[in-house]
Chain A
């Protein structure tokens, strides 16, 4: 199997990898880098369980080839908390009850994190629209919105 060399920065760490062209960024993260936070679910860019940040924007990593990440800066859920300390949005998810089974949560937290970076005080409508690409079958949407609002509010003070 031919592989292509890529250089990619993942969670602040520079990595040199040999990647098969048909492997997605999701495959590379999970299988080559053992970063299993991003999840496999729909694999058609609908559910957002695979959401990561590439060059500052959230993307469905199942719809990006690994080779396309050459030269990119990638942040996954594992890269948010540092030194064991949760970010405010992660704490808020726990405090507001935004977490049930947890399978969609890495994607949700990444999307919420990115949303707040782009818009420090989003309205409920903006949150619901900004988070629509992250499905939650446990139905935590209301609590996730509250977690985002609480984090924005705390940032305001």
Chain B
């Protein structure tokens, strides 16, 4: 069956998932493997006095115990923005869970025992783990000033400040000004697959397996640290078992690679779930929003000050802050704006990319503040949003990509599905919110497609398929363009020795960037088929068209394979197509490049609140996204509904709990709650708007983060309408709602 773009064939690679035969990194068995275990301290910050590895080394089966002293000196540091993170802690641990040593042994039991026997003498140091704590002038510095040469903020815990704006906020007159401060919690990805890493000497190079989203990026990091040419660093990136941004950048691969080299044997490290909470999280934030409204509801200005609490090492967190806050005013016409955003270091898990990339935090604050303005003005919350919503082509961020969708259609559809304006049963409320997120600002994807002699196809694409279904849509594109049945298309991903370069899988870019690269490669093959047909028919290529698997000759059309077989002749062979999609950066742009597309979503909620207990019952959850073209409608629906459920997590139940000295109390699944099947809204409805107005293949846009962006504001809006109580702090746990009702919290 030809996998027509726009159809929803079974997920490519799905069979391996439902039979348990698919191998994730932790399922791969290498001969002679050494099992590694990290040694960490049970405190947030400590000065390492001494490390005694002798007892650990004596455990039978232990082959290696490494500390910073055993690494190349000075200890290598890495990181996508700043090379601040050491391979193992140097002199000081800066967050609860930073490893000070690692052991490797023939068995997991021996590794576990040896890790317990590494004796670290340490002195606990005061830690900062809140925004207030980090900004206190007397606060200890998370990073030594020496690590930040030439940085005029080096004597503070502020890593960077970002400022975006237009117009003159101070000079702008407004009939009503609403100012509030909102807080967004610290949460973690909790992919069901914990991060997993392996490394093995590979001839004069090294082979690495990782659940990484960006194999080529990792390849470069490792090549730099190991002093190897890229061609001698092979990164295998099996499909991650969920990633959501938490597996974008190197975490322990450098350590495992150095251990493999030292031991001259393969080394395997698989994190426990608890260790993943200590390895990756979303930035928490405190955001003060001052919104100016005219009495007719039009926005006068937005003045946003966002403090994001990032971890002890930057990872990609500062980019999250800058890029996430950048469209912070939302998809609206705003005459004057000022957005200041700060990344604030703390002695906590390094925050990294996480679905939404800094936008959900600001969205929570800004959309809630808009609701507050609507309430004060006596204007319907839907009407107020429609009044200010940017229309297609409007430069709502003055110097950037204009509004690239008919967003009002999305809002109308969501309003229709929630029944906005229809009578509400007593005790219920509705909320509605919109969100945008910027797509990639730079990008580069290569694809190679091979059309084999029998018409079957192999696609080489470096995208990571972590559940979003990239493999399927890329196969659909090739199937559609080259006329091969979908089950005659193989997609090869995740091997830097075999698959050409892909910059990264993030920012919902792959449909657009890799999709276009694959399309480009297919078009390359189509032009070769055209030349082949012209030769066979003895006519000019200009008289032939090749599209959607068919060769259109004068007077007739034939499937590509019917030209291919005679065209290849007795020697056989294949046709190889190469494709590339590149988006260049712009050094003058605040984000380093304009946005390739926006993800736009409208979420609407109807809810009931049990006033005695604070329980929120979600009666209906509507989510509508602007997707351009759904290459695979079922996968679009799955991504949007999945993002909606994930958004309910930080809205209703997820948060790290710390003790008084910065230690995480709720590591693991028992006391960190994520939504289960029983926590779904009574009705969860998703829909999409398709105007084929995106830059991706067939008019598609990127999607999969949008439906998470504005869940919180929509839920809080519904809670407010149902109860009169306003809450500006997430998650909306039953206890927090109860407390707000008790205290009469209405702003």
Contact = CB atoms under 8 A, between A and B. Distances in A.
A and B touch in the complex (CB under 8 A): yes
Interface of A: 1, 20, 22, 30, 34-44, 46-47, 49, 76-78, 80-81, 86, 90, 93-95, 97, 99-106, 109, 127-129, 131-145
A3 to B, nearest CB: 12
B706 to A, nearest CB: 14
B635 interface: yes
18 contacts: A36-B27, A40-B194, A43-B272, A44-B670, A93-B18, A94-B18, A97-B635, A99-B18, A101-B467, A102-B14, A102-B241, A127-B677, A135-B192, A135-B676, A137-B244, A139-B641, A139-B642, A142-B684
A71 to B, nearest CB: 24
Please name the 9 residue pairs, one residue from A and one from B, whose CB atoms are nearest each other, closest first: A37-B20, A103-B241, A102-B17, A101-B467, A139-B642, A139-B645, A100-B467, A77-B20, A42-B669
Contacts of B295: none
Contacts of A103: 24, 191-193, 241-242
B492 interface: no
A152 B641 CA distance: 23
Interface centre among A20, A38, A49, A127 (most CB of B within 10 A): A49
A127 B676 CA distance: 12
A93 B17 CA distance: 10
B674 interface: yes
A74 to B, nearest CB: 14
Nearest to B635: A97
B21 interface: yes
Given A86-B15, A105-B17, A97 B637 contact: yes
Given A39-B241, A128-B677, 17 more contacts: A30-B27, A36-B20, A40-B194, A42-B668, A76-B20, A97-B638, A99-B11, A103-B193, A104-B192, A128-B680, A132-B677, A135-B676, A136-B192, A137-B674, A139-B641, A139-B646, A141-B645
A94 B467 contact: no
B20 to A, nearest CB: 2
Nearest to A23: B109
B75 interface: no
A57 B109 CA distance: 29
B680 to A, nearest CB: 5
Interface in B220-271: 239-244, 270
B19 interface: yes
A47 B242 CA distance: 14
A106 to B, nearest CB: 4
Interface in B638-657: 638-639, 641-646
A26 B469 CA distance: 29
Contacts of A99: 11, 14, 17-18
Given A46-B670, A100-B469, A101-B241, A142 B14 contact: no
B240 to A, nearest CB: 7
A138 B635 CA distance: 12
A37 B467 contact: no
Contacts of A142: 641, 680, 684
A24 to B, nearest CB: 12
Contacts of B241: 39, 101-104
A100 B24 contact: no
B634 interface: yes
Contact of A81 (B19, B193, B240, B643): B19
Nearest to A102: B17
Contacts of A128: 677-678, 680
Nearest to A47: B669
Nearest to A127: B677
Contacts of B19: 37, 77-78, 80-81, 86, 90
Contacts of B677: 127-129, 131-132, 134, 136, 141, 144-145
A30 to B, nearest CB: 8
A61 to B, nearest CB: 13
A43 B16 CA distance: 23
Interface string B685-710: 00000000000000000000000000
Nearest to A106: B20
A28 B596 CA distance: 49
B676 A105 contact: no
A141 B680 contact: yes
B642 A138 contact: yes
Nearest to A30: B27
B527 interface: no
A143 B244 contact: no
Nearest to A42: B669
B668 A38 contact: no
B600 interface: no
Interface centre among B17, B642, B643 (most CB of A within 10 A): B17
B569 to A, nearest CB: 36
A41 B638 contact: no
Contacts of B641: 139-140, 142-143
Nearest to B469: A100
A39 B24 CA distance: 10
Contact of A100 (B26, B189, B638, B675): B638
A30 B191 CA distance: 20
Contact of B643 (A46, A76, A139): A139
Given A134-B677, A137-B191, A78 B21 contact: yes
Given A42-B668, A94-B10, A97-B635, A37 B272 contact: no
B29 A102 contact: no
B283 interface: no
A94 B18 CA distance: 8
B145 interface: no
Given A97-B8, A138-B242, A141-B645, A41 B18 contact: no
Contacts of A76: 20
B21 A101 contact: no
Nearest to A133: B676
B266 to A, nearest CB: 16
A37 to B, nearest CB: 2
Nearest to A143: B638
Contacts of B669: 41-42, 44, 46-47, 135
B29 A34 contact: yes
A67 to B, nearest CB: 15
B109 A47 contact: no
A135 B674 contact: yes
A100 B469 CA distance: 7
Contact of B646 (A47, A78, A137): A137
A89 to B, nearest CB: 9
B346 to A, nearest CB: 25
A148 to B, nearest CB: 10
Contacts of A97: 8, 11, 634-635, 637-638
A94 B15 contact: yes
Given A101-B191, A102-B467, A44 B27 contact: no
B10 A138 contact: no
Contact of A137 (B18, B192, B272, B637): B192
